[in-house]
Every structure is written in structure tokens, then in C-alpha cells.
Chain A
Amino acid sequence: MSALSGPAQTGGVQPPTAMGLILSIVLIVVALALAFFLVQMVGVIALVGIIIGGVLIAFGVHFVPVGGAPAAMGQAPGIATGVAMLAAGAGLAGLFGGAWAAPFGLAVALAGGTIGGGLLMAITCTMVNVIYIFGMGIPAASGKVAKDPITGDTFPEYKSQGTEGHGLPFISWVGGVIGGALGGLGGTLIYLELLDVYQAQLPVILDVTVEQIAPVAISLAGIFAVGMFLMNAVLAAYNITGTIEGPHDPKFKRFPRAVIAAAAASAVAGIFAIALLELVGVF
């Protein structure tokens, strides 16, 4: 029999430890206090936005079906690339859309970022199946579940001998789009929060108009958003360890640990981004 009938797969779920939890909460509280001390209430609001953005990214990465090297040989289901990399591609495409729509307000920009990330994943996942089916003649089969939770398709009989499955079942496609959308939303939220902070601070410090400072503010916010995106995506990738099929994979249940880690990491990185100008001013 296949591995499907083996012992219940726990996916190596390890709940967050009490020590980790306390340390994360302390870090977040310290970062929030610093934000209030250095940039007042605006800083606290921006940091909360950044933490939410980071959490969304780390949570979203768990949805993305990534098969890594085994997927490139049709040995495991998913997309044949790295977890952090694929999520970054989708999230940054979302950031591109969100930044473009920024002048229309927070809601439109966030929706633009969400759809941008989802669109990249929708097209990529569809093309992955096109290559598997029309280039390699391989139908999709999951190795972790016997039945697709959405369509009800059964997989064991389609799975090639000696592999863990292959291709992208529909549930993985949906997971990919949700992951890309969450990544795009998180990345755009971080960008918009930082842009607000820089556009408020820079004109005062340099004594120029908001229009004159726009290119510098956009560049700074953009590069920090990209950096924080990669940081959270890599944290989530460490949590996943290797490959994941999507929301139906037992490994998906590991997400609480990544979410807490992402919140703490975003708070610490965020305080440097928000208080950048104050820190520069000190020297």
C-alpha cells in the first residue's frame, strides 16, 4: 500500500514554545514602545501595519504549493522552485500593482496588490499544469491526500510508481492563488505604511515639498518592503522545510509558529525602517 494508508501524518507540527512566545511578545512590545517614543502615534500605527503585513506574508507562503527539485523531476507535486522565491515573485508583482494604485487610497491599493499577487500565481500555476500535461503527458496527483477536497478527484490511481505524486491538483492551484494574494496584500500594506511615514517626515527634515521628496520616499519604502517581504518569506520557508502541497498538506498546520516569528521579526525590522530618519539624524 502507499504511504497514504500509513500512520496519520502529523507533518511534524511543533506548537510554539512558551519561551518563544514570551520573547516574541516582549520584542513586539519593545518595538511598539520605541516607535511611540521616536515617531509618536503615527509610528505605532505604521508599525502595527507592518506587523500585520509580515504576518500575512508568512501565513500566505504556507498556501503556495512548492515542490522544489523533486517537482522538476515529476517526483513530488507542486511548482518546481523554492518556497521563498516563488512567494517573493508573486508578492512583489502584487507590490507593483499596489504601488501603482497608491494615489487612489488605501483600500484600492491593497485590493490592487492582492489581485496582482493572485494573478501572477493563477497564470504561473496554470502554465505549470500546461507543461506537465501537454509537455510531459503527466496528469496531476497529490501524494498527501487521496481525494481533492474541492473537486473530489481521487489521486492514488494516477500517481506514478516510485513518486510522491506530481503536477498541480486543483486544491494546490487554489492554494497558490490564495498564497500569492496574501503575499501581495502583506507586501503592499508594508509599503503603504512606510510611504506614509517617509512622506510625513522627509519634507520636515529636508525642508522641501512632498512632491520633491516623492522619488526618495517611494524608493525607500519600496526597498524596505521588498526586504521585509523576503525576510518573512524565508522565515516561513524555514518553517515549512522543503516542500509543501498547499492548504491540504499536513505541514500547513505548522503555520502558527511562522506567524509568531514573522510578527516578532517584522516588529524589529519595522522599527529600523520607521525610525530610519531619526537614527540617521542621531549621527
Chain B
Amino acid sequence: MEEIVFGIGITALAGALATVAGAAEDTESDIGSQGDPNSQVQLAPQMGYIHRIFNKAVAGEPPAYGLWVALGAGLAWAFMAMQINPILAIVLGSALAVFVQGVYATTAYLGRTASLAKFGQPVYIDILKSMTTVTMAHAFVAIFTTVAMCHLMIAALGHPFPLPLMGLVWGIALGAAGSATGNPFYGKERQYQEQKFGAGVPISASGNIVRYAEAGQRNSLDNGFFSAKLGGPASGICFGLIVFFELWRTVVFEELNIWGPIIVGIVVILVFAIIDRYIEVWARKNFGPYTAPEAPEEASS
């Protein structure tokens, strides 16, 4: 019984760490325009819309986070093998991984933006100086929490995977959850803030992203501020729920019966099916069918 209580405590802690990781991951990727909305940031200058949005996408979020978290976990694992205290080892490993992220962000911004030179898009050095460190700070939070979570799964819950492999697995899952949940909010709700609310962005508006803020030109810190309100926390809840349910069903029900975690997993999937269907029907009832704007006008920036 004591073991189960201990396991539930670790599960809750791992779920909480995952929630923070998801929120930091999505905010980091939105500041860097790393998810799918990046296509619009890259497209905008080609359509004549010069902007000051940071642009560091080279890989999708899942492989990028797979790399950074596996790197942080691998270094932490090496430090632990050198008899360094685990907490210190995880901090050091994550910090070193963040430097790789910083190099990646810098070269990606310079390379991607320089490729737009023939469309008149300048490389803003002040953007590079102010945004890179902010994405690095967010990446540190995401990597540290994920590596710490992986360490808990191995050291406290006895998962057989070594730390670097665990980092790769959960890093990719973190990127998948963060990009799936957070991308639409940043892409549609922020970059196309001027388009009609409650409808998709017409394909004809592609590239016409919002480039001006309350004062002056909009930059990616404004975007981070915006997506930290909903896209980030929602990604955090998504990844937190995944980690929590994945661990909880095993830790609590494996003692009762070896098939327990599987039956509980099926029940949880069915519960989410009901929730999904309920909100889908709720949206259809409350929002109603699409109505075209009365006088469709050309969106301007």
C-alpha cells in the first residue's frame, strides 16, 4: 500500500512537471515561430508583407525536442555516472542542451531570413539579440522539467529504459502534444487576428499576417505574451494529462491485476471520446452553421 501511495505521489509530480514542460514548450515554439504557423512567417515577405517576427524553424517541434531533451538527458546521465548529485546533473545537462538550442535558433533565423533577401526582408540583429535568449529561457524550462520527469520515471517508478532513450521518447511526445494543441491558437488566432473570429482563415488571405502591434511593429515577444494565455497552458494540460494517465493507470492498477492498466486505459479513452463528442455537439449547437460576412472586404494590415 505504501508503495502505491509513493507511486501516486511520483505520478502527480511527473504530471505537474509535464504540464509545465508543455506550457513552456508551446510558448517557446510560438516565440520562435517553430510550429506549422511558421509557413506563414516564411510566406509573408514573399507576398510583400515585411515583418519583424522571429523565425527559427528548421525541423518540426517533435524532432527538435527529441534532440534537445535526449541531449539534456544524455548529459545528465553522464554527470550522474560521474557521481554528481542528480538535481545538479539534470540542471547542468539541460543548460548545456539549451546552448545547442540557442545555436540552432541563431543559425535558423539567420539562414531562413537571409533566404528571403530577394523579397526585401531584412535580417534584424536586434530581433536576434532579444528573441534568442527568450526562447532559450523557455526551452530550458521545458527541457529541465522533461528530463526531471524522465529521471523520476526511472529512479522512482522503475521503468527499464535508460535516461537518454527515455528523453528521446518523451521529447518527441512533448513536441507532438505541444505542436498539435498550441499551433492552431498561434497560427489562426494570433497571426490572423484581423480575420473573422469563429471561422477558418480563407486560403486567399495566406501570408497576410498581422505585423503591427498597439505601438510600433509586432514582434515575437508579443506573440509569446499572447499564446501564453491559452495555447501554452492548453498544451501543458494536454501533455500533463498524457503523462499522468500513462503513469497513473500502471502505478495504481498493476498491483490489482496485470490487465488492470489496460482496462483502465480503455475506460479513459472512452471517457475522452465522450468529452470530445460532447464539446463537438455543443459547438455545433451554440455556434451554428457558418454565415458569410455581409459585405466581404479585403483584409488589410
Annotate B163-175 by CB proximity to A: 1 below 8 A, 0 otherwise. 0011011101101
Beta-carbon contact of B36 and A71 below 8 Å: yes
**How many residues in A have their beta carbons less than 8 Å from beta carbons of B?**
80
Q: Contacts A73-B37, A122-B272, A124-B238 hold; do A136 and B188 have CB atoms under 8 A apart?
A: yes
B213 within 8 A of A: no
Q: A108-B258, A129-B279, A139-B287 are in contact. List 9 more A-B contacts (CB 8 A).
A: A74-B200, A85-B179, A86-B62, A115-B262, A122-B268, A127-B180, A127-B238, A141-B290, A169-B280
Binary interface profile of A, 266-282, with partner B (CB < 8 Å = 1, else 0)? 00000000000000000
Distance between Cα atoms of A79 and B182 in the complex (Å): 10
**Is B259 a contact of A86 with CB atoms below 8 Å?**
no
Most-contacted residue by chain B among A68, A72, A100, A161 (CB, 10 A):
A72
Contact A222 B161 (CB under 8 A): yes
B276 contacts which of A75, A116, A136, A173 (Cβ < 8 Å)? A173
12 sampled A-B residue pairs with Cβ under 8 A = A80-B35, A86-B176, A89-B177, A95-B169, A96-B161, A119-B246, A122-B272, A151-B277, A163-B203, A173-B276, A177-B273, A222-B161
Let me know if A161 and B199 touch, CB within 8 A.
Answer: yes
Instruction: Write the nearest CB–CB distance from A90 to chain B, whole angstroms.
Output: 7
Q: What 1/0 flags go to A85-111 for Cβ under 8 Å of B?
A: 110111011011101111010001001
The reply to whether B180 and A163 form a contact with Cβ atoms under 8 Å apart is: no
A177 proximity list for chain B (CB < 8 A):
269, 273
Majority secondary structure of chain A interface residues (helix, strand, loop or mixed): helix
A131 touches B40 (CB 8 A): no
Render A105-140 as a binary contact track against B, CB cut-off 8 A, 1 for contact.
Answer: 000100110011011101111111111111111111
A111 touches B259 (CB 8 A): yes
Which of B3-11, B88-96, B124-132, B229-237 is the contact stretch?
A: B229-237
Known: A100-B250, A124-B180, A135-B234. A119 touches B265 (CB 8 A): yes
Give bound CA distance, A135 to B191, whole Å: 14
Bound CA–CA A141/B35 (angstroms)? 23
Q: Is the CB of B259 within 8 A of A123?
A: no
Residues of A bordering B, CB below 8 Å: 68-75, 79-82, 85-86, 88-90, 92-93, 95-97, 99-102, 104, 108, 111-112, 115-116, 118-120, 122-141, 151, 153, 157-166, 168-170, 173-174, 177, 214-215, 218-219, 222-223, 226
**Size class of the B contact interface (CB-based, 8 Å):** 35 or more
User: Which residues of A sit under 8 angstroms from B179, Cβ to Cβ?
Assistant: 80-81, 85
Of B199, B242, B268, B284, which one neighbours A93 at CB under 8 angstroms?
B242
Q: Is the CB of B275 within 8 A of A158?
A: no
Closest to B39 in A: A69
Given contacts A89-B172, A151-B277, contact A163 B230 (CB under 8 A): no
Number of A-B contacts (CB under 8 A): 283
B295 at the interface (CB under 8 A from A): no
Smallest distance from the beta carbon of A157 to chain B beta carbons, Å? 4
**By the criterion CB–CB under 8 Å, are A163 and B184 in contact?**
no
- Point out the residue from A73, A128, A161 that lies within 8 Å of B181, measured CB to CB: A128
Contact of A72 among B35, B230, B269, B272 (CB under 8 A): B35
Asked whether, in the complex, the Cβ of B160 is within 8 Å of the Cβ of A123, the reply is: no
Report if A137-B173 is in contact (Cβ < 8 Å); known contacts: A80-B36, A85-B63, A131-B184.
no
CA distance A81 to B57 in the complex (A): 13
A82/B60 contact (C-beta < 8 A), A72-B36, A88-B176 known: yes
Is there an interface contact between A72 and B37, defined as CB atoms closer than 8 Å? yes
Cross-chain contact of A81 among B180, B262, B279 (Cβ < 8 A): B180
Residues of chain B lying within 8 A (CB to CB) of residue A96: 159, 161, 166, 169-170, 246
- Give chain B residues whose Cβ lies under 8 Å from the Cβ of A131: 181-182, 184-185, 230-231, 234
Measured CB to CB, the nearest residue on chain A to B268 is A119
Residues of B within 8 A of A151 (CB): 277
Q: A160-B290, A173-B273 are in contact. Are A81 and B168 (CB under 8 A)?
A: no
| Contact status B203-A75, CB under 8 Å | yes
Please indicate the chain B residues that have their CB under 8 angstroms from the CB of A86 in the complex. Answer: 62, 176, 180
